[in-house]
Structure 1
């Protein structure tokens, strides 16, 4: 078995949740997985324990709480009691505390930047900090699809997350990138604590990857990578993150992504691209 590569986490959002997927990832050196309380119609944790209970002790496991079963569909809540209950059920279903728990898309329950919204987020943060101290998880963080609403909230004297996970990659807009960087700075998070997700913006078969050549963002555009590999490698710089969560049921695809990490990104080209994104955002607001 090769040494683990800590910069890649296997995301299980659309996974088949098969034991072979986890053992194949381990053979490739990927020893971390990311799931959520609400994945697989709220059965992800129980399914993992059933199909791969013997594999889980060899994996670092992160999950998320924030979405709950509702009358007709899932619903979001920052209610501390519901978050606590979800964490307790997570421990029961997995048979172990998760290594990291993210507050899942807190912006979904924050309609505006009022004091009430800030207080609701503070209470959720306090619950996660207490749960960590009590052993329901080993650390906690925030996973945000749209971090912009969070940047306007006054969160003085609130517990601080230890990890921030945000969208990453060439398809992320300028405002989202800026908001992610602002949150990381506000919470004084080092680069090692910044995670990216959804590096392909929905999938590797999106027509955009045939129309755009991400290899232009590499120091050696002719280095033999595919467009998908180059898009994955570049995602570590948009914004600058140390870890990417990426989903795949195909070991060959995961191997290709790992091989892309040997190549270097041209930071000057990335900055030029950021300037283009900022200009586009300004024109849209004008």
Structure 2
């Protein structure tokens, strides 16, 4: 069994929630898992508690609230009472207090202008802060797929999360990268308090990974595969202290752990970001 490494979080977004994956993760030293109330058709918490309730205390488990089951699918809400009730429900169904509860994609409900958006975001954050104070979770955070709508909404009245989770990796556009940096700076969060997610954009089998060689972004990537190099580079796009990555194969997880031995070339990473910015200027749409 390997020593625990806090830089990798096992994401369960597309996972089949199999027990062997969790035991395999523990054997590899991956002791953080991330899910959400709406994963697995709103059954993720229930399934985890049923098939691995004895394992959950061995993990730092994070989950998310913000989506609610509705006729025909799901709806998003930042209404404080619904959010607080969702945190209570998460702790009850899981049978343990989550390590972190994230406010899930608040940008989906921030379309009523800056003043109303600032008020909604502040109240939602305050609700999760209250739930943490009442012992329903160890800490709270914000997870955002597109943080751009949050820019300019954070001020001195907005509670400060312990963790901010954003998209990371080579498939993230410069607008999202810059927005993630700006929002983290608005809250005064350092790199260790920022998590990345979806470093492969959903699949390592996408054609794009056959067309690019991310090893050019590492100081010495000769010993790593393209997938491993893409994963390692994602820690700098944007700068994050941990990455949530999904898989149903412990062997894939082991390969990603091995990728952490690689060293990013910060100059090459900056040149890559400059290229993205230049491309946006030439093609703004």
Do Structure 1 and Structure 2 share a fold, with TM-score over 0.5?
yes
Contact 2:221 2:262 in 1 (8 A): no
Contact 1:170 1:235 in 2 (8 A): yes
Distance of 1:199 and 1:135 partners within structure 2: 32
The yes-or-no answer on 1:164 pairing with 2:164 is: yes
Determine the structure 2 residue equivalent to 1:254: 253
Distance of 2:239 and 2:119 partners within structure 1: 30
Distance of 1:238 and 1:42 partners within structure 2: 30
Contact 1:234 1:265 in 2 (8 A): yes
Distance of 2:203 and 2:2 partners within structure 1: 27
Instruction: Structure 1: give runs of 5+ residues left out of the alignment.
Output: none
1:190-205 equivalent positions in 2, closer than 5 A? 190-205=190-205
Determine the structure 1 residue equivalent to 2:23: 23
Distance of 1:154 and 1:59 partners within structure 2: 31
* Structure 1 residue 280, shift from structure 2 partner: 1.2
Determine the structure 2 residue equivalent to 1:152: 152
Determine the structure 2 residue equivalent to 1:140: 140
Contact 1:113 1:149 in 2 (8 A): no
Q: What SS is found at the alignment partner of 1:82?
A: helix
Distance of 1:40 and 1:219 partners within structure 2: 39
1:77-226 equivalent positions in 2, closer than 5 A? 77-222=77-222, 224-226=223-225
Distance of 2:184 and 2:149 partners within structure 1: 14
How many residues get paired?
A: 285
Determine the structure 1 residue equivalent to 2:238: 239
Distance of 2:242 and 2:144 partners within structure 1: 15
Distance of 1:153 and 1:283 partners within structure 2: 29
Root-mean-square deviation (Å)? 1.0
Distance of 1:138 and 1:107 partners within structure 2: 24
* Structure 1 residue 153, shift from structure 2 partner: 1.5
Determine the structure 1 residue equivalent to 2:48: 48
Residues 24-44 of structure 1: per-residue CA shift (max 9 Å, x gap): 000000000000011011110
* Structure 1 residue 118, shift from structure 2 partner: 1.0
Instruction: Structure 2: give runs of 5+ residues left out of the alignment.
Output: none
Distance of 1:67 and 1:178 partners within structure 2: 26
Determine the structure 2 residue equivalent to 1:230: 229
Q: What SS is found at the alignment partner of 1:285?
A: coil
Determine the structure 1 residue equivalent to 2:266: 267
TM-score normalized with structure 1 length: 0.97
Determine the structure 2 residue equivalent to 1:11: 11
Q: What SS is found at the alignment partner of 1:62?
A: strand
* Residues 238/112 of structure 1: CA separation in 2 closer, same or farther (3 Å cut): farther
Distance of 2:174 and 2:124 partners within structure 1: 28
Residues 93-135 of structure 1: per-residue CA shift (max 9 Å, x gap): 0111101011000000011542111111111011011000000
